[in-house]
Amino acid sequence: MTAIRIGNGFDVHRFSDDRGRRLVLGGVCFDGEVGLDGHSDADVVAHAVAEALLGAAGLDDLGSHFPDTDERWHGADSLALLAEVVRLVHDEGWDPVNVDCSVIAERPKLAPRRAEMQSRLSDVVGAPVTVKGRRAEGIGGLGRCEGIACLASALVSSRIVFVDGVGT
């Protein structure tokens, strides 16, 4: 029997006051949209995926691996951070099986770019990543277009096979 684990990830960023900041979601740049505020490129989708994978592998959280107090991560490409998370997960003996994401945003519309986001994330994770867009229907800060949030769930399987409770 192969061991499996599930992890959940969440990230949220407010829109930036810097009109020159790019909006990046799932590794895809949305031209003409205001970017999100954050130490890295503030890609909430990549961050939530990374959090879910780290949780599934029992590897603490994104901030412990890439603290916002460390200038090395200032403006970092979140897909590069995600690739490092995937390496950490692999090093612990886990393989991603799939990741599912729900992005909560009033704007931009994700459907026209969803396939591209899924492809980029799946390429980095090495397993299928699905992305769904959800609206907050005008409720709270997300509904007032103050930012974007993402929830993600990841399934990982162990490369260790268990027979009668013993890993081989």
Return the higher-pLDDT residue of 134 and 76: 134
DSSP state of 31: T
Statement: 2-167 belongs to CATH 3.40.190.10: no
**For residue 168, pLDDT beyond 60:** no
* Residue pLDDT, tens place only, 14-31: 999 998 999 999 999 999
Cβ proximity of 94 and 127 under 8 Å: no
Tell me how far apart the alpha carbons of residues 50 and 70 are, in angstroms, rounded to a whole number. Answer: 18
Report the relative pairing of strands 2-14 and 166-167 from DSSP bridges.
Answer: unpaired
Question: What confidence score (pLDDT) does residue 167 get?
Answer: 59
Answer yes or no: pTM beyond 0.85: yes
Cβ proximity of 14 and 38 under 8 Å: no
Instruction: Residue 40: count other Cβ atoms within 10 Å of its Cβ.
Output: 21
